[in-house]
Amino acid sequence: MFEFSSEQEDFRAALRRFLSAKSGPAEARRLIGDPSGYDSGVWAQMAGELGLHGLHIPEEFGGAGCGWVELLVASEEMGRSLLSAPFFATVALGATALMESGDETAQRTHLPSIADGSTVVTLALAEPTGSWVPGDVRASAVESGGEWRLHGEKCFVVDGMAADLILVAARTRRGVSLFACDGAAPGLVRKPQEALDSTRRLAGVMLSDTPAVLVGEEGAAEPVLQRVLDLAAVALAAEQVGGAQQCLDMSVEYAKVRHQFGRAIGSFQAIKHMCADALLEVESARSAAYRAAWDAATGADEFPAHASMAKALCSDAFVATAAMTIQVHGGVGFTWEHDAHLYFKRAKSSEFFLGSPARHRERFLSLIGLPSELAAPVDQPHQASRVA
């Protein structure tokens, strides 16, 4: 049975106290109108006081040298509090890509400043097609005069407007490669992309003869990027579990205090069933996320399959539970002033980020040797999400 150590539980408790004081839906709502989308003071505290940015970065590069179980704990608590900060982009995507690249020069150049909070980094992979498959990359890189130049368009770049460093997947004559590009490089144009979830900023990035530095071996980035996506999917799944748990907690608490016809609405059979179904969804998703994080930490062969299944289950659970929360709260659940819509928007945007649940189910079946036709069709919603 999977159990957290006492140190990991203490870390969770400390982080929850910090996020309760510094973050939360009210802060997320305030930051919607902020151009940067996050509080730089809180960002610095996260790095300096809690060491969150370097959580899974090796000590030799200025990190804490922890692992994916600790990152799961952090991501789960951040999902619960609806953190508005470029943590996922910087740590789960950017730092992970550098660590998996095997390029020690790039690691020594960038990881220390990521760990101390002075560099915000993100990964630019998806393009206008919307595919998160590394092999579908069409942006190009050409070497000229000993310097690489990038051309192409990237979409859905998380915190792309705030990033100081952008890691770009581009295709060379040898195959898909990874490049480090300064956020202020000539020929790089960033534009905000409209997103359903205003608490997690997206950007489009245009590259036109943009100078960049090769990270890792030319043409060898496709398996590296797939590994990064699997690891990031586990962090996102943990975040979804935290958000779903918070939605369930809000619903149960409201069902206890809201009265109709002289009774708490939690005593009505329909509300009981909705909350019970949501509890089952959340606990099943939590088990999947925890198993995938444990596989990532131990290097289990089954990790890619379990990462995809975790992403699929946690996406479904978060959407279903967030929709249920709106229903339980009735009319007030649809208002701007209530937190329910913030969690629902985060749930819907996270559902398709890094690949849809249907795609991850197909990949899971493929990885375990079963025909992908057994996966639910793309247009068939998950049963519990029909409450939306």
Q: Residue 381's pLDDT is what? A: 39
| Distances, alpha carbon 95 to alpha carbons 54, 58, 356, in Å | 9, 11, 23
- Rounded (5°) CA angle 101-107-110: 125
User: CATH 1.20.140.10 spans which residues of the chain?
Assistant: 222-387
For domain 6-119, give the CATH superfamily. Acyl-CoA dehydrogenase/oxidase, N-terminal domain (1.10.540.10)
Q: Is the dihedral of CA 276, 282, 284, 286 positive or negative?
A: negative
Q: Residue 269's pLDDT is what? A: 87
- Rounded distance between C-alpha atoms, residue 116 and residue 307, angstroms: 28
Angle at which helices 303-329 and 340-352 pack, to 10 degrees?
150
Identity of residue 49: E
Two tokens, residue 2: 């999977």
Two tokens, residue 350: 């996270």
- The alpha-carbon radius of gyration of the chain (Å, integer) is 21
Q: Residue 266's pLDDT is what? A: 80
Residue among 145, 121, 161, 137 at smallest CA distance from 35: 161
Identity of residue 260: Q
Backbone angles phi, psi at 59, to 5 degrees: -60, -30
Q: Residue 334's pLDDT is what? A: 79
Backbone angles phi, psi at 140, to 5 degrees: -115, 155
For domain 122-218, give the CATH superfamily. Butyryl-CoA Dehydrogenase, subunit A, domain 2 (2.40.110.10)
Q: Residue 337's pLDDT is what? A: 85
User: CATH 1.10.540.10 spans which residues of the chain?
Assistant: 6-119
User: CATH 2.40.110.10 spans which residues of the chain?
Assistant: 122-218
Q: For domain 222-387, say whether CATH 1.20.140.10 is its number.
A: yes
Q: Residue 375's pLDDT is what? A: 61
pTM of the full structure: 0.93
Low-confidence stretches of the chain (pLDDT < 50) are 378-388
Name, in order, each residue with C-beta under 8 angstroms of 133's C-beta and a sequence gap of 6 or more: none
- Rounded distance between C-alpha atoms, residue 47 and residue 118, angstroms: 9
Q: Where are the alpha helices (DSSP H) in the chain?
A: 6-22, 25-31, 40-48, 68-81, 87, 96-101, 104-115, 221-257, 269-298, 303-329, 340-352, 357-367
Q: Residue 385's pLDDT is what? A: 35
